Structure 1
Amino acid sequence: MRKVWLASAALLVFGVAGCGSAGGGSNAADDVIRIGFIAPTQGAFGEIGENLVDGARIAVDQANAAGGIDGRQLELVVTDEGTSPQTATQAARDLVGDGVELVGGMFSSANCGAVAPIIEQSPAVLITGSCASNEQTGAFTGQAPFTRTFGVAARDRSTADAVAEVIGQRFPQVRTFDVLGFDYKWGRETWDGFRDGLDGGAGITVNREQWLPLNTTDFRAQVSAMSRGLAGERDGRGVFLSTYGAGTAGFIQQAESFDLPQQIAVLANAGEYYNVARSLNGRAPDMWNAYDYNYAAFDTPVNQEFVEAYGAMHDGARPVGWTYQGYLVGLAYTAALQEAGTDDPEQVRTALEGVTFDGPSGPVTIGAESHQADIPTVVSHTVGAPDQPDGIDVVETIVVPYGGR
């Protein structure tokens, strides 16, 4: 059984070895190097935070097992992101005020957008984990909007483009879509990108769009309206979800009671989904999903070690996209610290510009100008299967290379 992880203190420390607790810039051989990690640690997004932290912990543990950075061990200092830009910025201020100037993590793009300017006015560095709004890095413009902030998650547009490309190829007859999403920037950006990615939106009919507040889990009214109002023949219908986590799980469970998945040709989703399919205990519907990661997509030694390390923490379960993002934050910091030869934040910042390291998908480079990691997007075709690991049959994975945005 997977453990339930809940933070009860403002700051939690993991992966401690050695003595002392140095801030950025200290080079004492017996000091640890502290990496601050901001993530939601309780409430509706607590599971997401758990996954992000687990990924970073795996990277820290691996670095320490390999001898650390010039003999100095890494220490992960976790603080709660909360649920708003205000709580996230306070978390960042607390870390930097405590001398922790190498900062990573975070889930919400809105929170990242609030924290990046704070980091810009400090001596600290930030590597965002799950934040994926298109303006967070210079993936589109080529020039990073912040000199001290970097990103490892695929941009919203990359995710939407990837699933649109695959759905357009596999289901060319599906031209009518119903849309249900969370009413915020990420939700609307992924739908806009998906729609535009299907032949530039030409010939696509939007039957019904329904946008709901974040954290909505009761979709009975929306599912009922969608089921009653489906247009055209079954082979030409699709549903696109811009939801995640408990929202996606709630929609799927309520859609089953209306037999909705059987009335459409394709159900597609942009965003982390594997954890939802796992929670459905073998009853997940046939789904096409696009996100940064699926454990079955990459046959590399790094991915094998990552999957095994996560399985050892969680009774053989597979890591999800959020775990992968936290892992990339840890790997990026490890590589930059090794290149810089110090934990001085300014030198680490310089090292991060153009740094290359081996990730689960293969070599990853953070653009020197864009501050964006060039990771691919994975489109996964999955369906519930009680006899498979995690209750999920990964039918197929399609790796869509990073396209420069």
Structure 2
Amino acid sequence: MPQPVLSRRALAAGGVALLATPALSQGQSDVVRIGHLTPRTGFLGPLGEYAVQGVQLAAEEVNAAGGIAGRRVELLLEDSVNPQTASAKAERYIQRDRVSCIVGEINSASALAIGQVVQREKALFINTGANSDALRGSDCRRYMFHIEGANSMYVKSVGRALLAEGKINGKKYYALTADYAFGHDLLKVAKNFLTANKATAAGEDLIPTELTDFSPFLLKLRQARPDVVILNLAGAQITNFLKQYSEYGLRFPVAGFGFDTALAWGAGQGNFLGTWPTVWHHLVDTPSTKAFVAAFGRKFNRPPENQAWGDYCALKIIAQSMNELKAVDATRVVEHLEKGAKFDVLKTREGYFRARDHQIMMEMYAISALPADQVRNRWDIFSSSAPVPGPSEDLEVIAPTAEEAACTFPA
């Protein structure tokens, strides 16, 4: 698996320690600094905590295996907070802390801001949680890569399950969408899919990111009586919606086009329902997933969720690439990734970054909530589809097409 070439700014106010590596001055060459940025507060904060734990575990494992070209990884952690803060911290990571790479992010607008910085500075950025197709299309950057799935990949993956369940074709849907860049992009992609499959809108609402009381929207759902409720929500919005949906006793089928398993766990016993896409989950039956889940559980006393997977794999990919190159130079790593290097991403098939937009090509999954009488514990609350695409399909069949997200890298 990969090895890091990143470095960045450490310890923000509130403390962000990491990896047992001594604090060293910029001029010392016996460490490779990796800068990690992700939301630690706000509606995406619960996911950010998993991201931090995933990257911490990866860095420890990389160091235990000899580091990068014999140098220890020094991991620097910061709360990205918002796009303005993310941009400023990314610049500081590169210019002051001399990181070899930046890993992280969940907010699509913040990922765009970081992408602009790394393109200007010719530094490497692996996006681990921002889904917007635009980041792989109109806003693509040559020094930005994506281990997180694009919105198109999420919609196409779960779309197969929803069509098989008879919940889309010719049905009326009511869509609730997070009111920021990610949600707007996901709604656009979702509506393309819904329209192509003859679904019609019974209603649509944009949901402020910090909203906690969904009662006005639940009353609108009750009145509209859709065939299916489509959720294009993010972060704690999903947890709050699921809790309140159950309290209102509504029975319309629920489906999501964006998802993180931590949000289902946060909804509490009996509140998770519906069919959702996920980039990875802790029940994937591969040796590397089992090893990751066991190591994460020993360290953090809970299973990893998909955001932890993304940040863990990103650092491993960077470490592997730098070790293969015996170099941490960003441009050389970019060229290496563009040539189709393969990586174990804890699934049945290896992943690789597509050269034209830097999106990783990989399998995804559709999961469905288990009936209450089949739930054994607070973590194993869903059943999963087989990997999507199937074993005889090209990995690119669920990825954004050139028409859906056309990328021209800036000079």
Instruction: Please report the TM-score for the alignment, with normalisation by the length of structure 1.
Output: 0.86
Query: Equivalences for 1:263-342 in 2 at 5 Å?
Result: 264=252, 266-296=253-283, 298-315=284-301, 317-342=302-327
* Pick aligned residue for 2:367 from 380, 392, 396: 380
Aligned to 1:238: 228
Secondary structure of the 1:381 match is: strand
Matched, 1:145 2:149: no
Aligned to 1:53: 52
* Pick aligned residue for 1:397 from 362, 385, 390: 385
**Structure 1, unpaired ranges of 5+:** 1-6, 232-236
* Pick aligned residue for 2:181 from 175, 185, 198: 185
Alpha-carbon distance change, 359 to 388 in structure 1, aligned in 2, over 3 angstroms? same
Shift of 1:215: 2.0
Secondary structure of the 1:12 match is: coil
Alpha-carbon distance change, 208 to 199 in structure 1, aligned in 2, over 3 angstroms? closer
Aligned to 1:352: 337
Q: Could you tell me which amino acid in structure 2 is paired with residue 302 of structure 1?
A: S
Alpha-carbon distance change, 399 to 195 in structure 1, aligned in 2, over 3 angstroms? farther
Q: Could you tell me which amino acid in structure 2 is paired with residue 211 of structure 1?
A: L
Deviations 1:68-111 (A, max 9, x none): 223222121111201x2111101101111221131111111111
Alpha-carbon distance change, 395 to 196 in structure 1, aligned in 2, over 3 angstroms? same
Query: Equivalences for 1:5-404 in 2 at 5 Å?
Result: 9=13, 12-17=16-21, 20=24, 28=29, 31-82=30-81, 84-97=82-95, 98-137=97-136, 145-171=140-166, 175-198=171-194, 200-202=196-198, 204-231=199-226, 237-260=227-250, 262=251, 264=252, 266-296=253-283, 298-315=284-301, 317-353=302-338, 354-361=340-347, 362-383=349-370, 385=372, 388-401=376-389, 402=395, 403=397, 404=399
**Structure 2, unpaired ranges of 5+:** 1-10, 390-394, 401-411
Q: How far apart in 2 are the matches of 1:363 and 1:221? A: 45
Alpha-carbon distance change, 14 to 254 in structure 1, aligned in 2, over 3 angstroms? same
Deviations 1:39-71 (A, max 9, x none): 112333322211111111222122112222232
Q: How far apart in 1 are the matches of 2:142 and 2:209? A: 30
Shift of 1:174: 6.6
Q: How far apart in 1 are the matches of 2:383 and 2:270? A: 15
Shift of 1:11: 6.7
Q: Could you tell me which amino acid in structure 1 is paired with residue 234 of structure 2?
A: Y
Deviations 1:246-267 (A, max 9, x none): 211211222222211x2x2x21
Query: Is residue 177–residue 205 contact of structure 1 (8 Å, CA) maintained in 2?
Result: yes
Q: Could you tell me which amino acid in structure 1 is paired with residue 294 of structure 2?
A: E
Deviations 1:203-240 (A, max 9, x none): x1211111121122211011012112215xxxxx1111
| Runs of 4+ off more than 6 Å | none
Shift of 1:145: 3.1
Deviations 1:21-56 (A, max 9, x none): 557xx7x4xx11111011112333322211111111
Q: How far apart in 2 are the matches of 1:249 and 1:326? A: 22
Secondary structure of the 1:127 match is: strand
Q: Could you tell me which amino acid in structure 2 is paired with residue 96 of structure 1?
A: I
Q: How far apart in 2 are the matches of 1:286 and 1:46? A: 22
Query: Is residue 101–residue 123 contact of structure 1 (8 Å, CA) maintained in 2?
Result: no
Q: How far apart in 1 are the matches of 2:275 and 2:53? A: 26
Q: Indicate the RMSD between aligned Cα atoms, in angstroms.
A: 2.4
Q: How far apart in 2 are the matches of 1:148 and 1:10? A: 30
Query: Is residue 39–residue 105 contact of structure 2 (8 Å, CA) maintained in 1?
Result: yes
Q: How far apart in 2 are the matches of 1:210 and 1:281? A: 25
- Relative contact order higher in (CA < 8 Å, ≥ 6 apart): 2
Query: Is residue 109–residue 182 contact of structure 2 (8 Å, CA) maintained in 1?
Result: no
Q: How many residues align?
A: 378
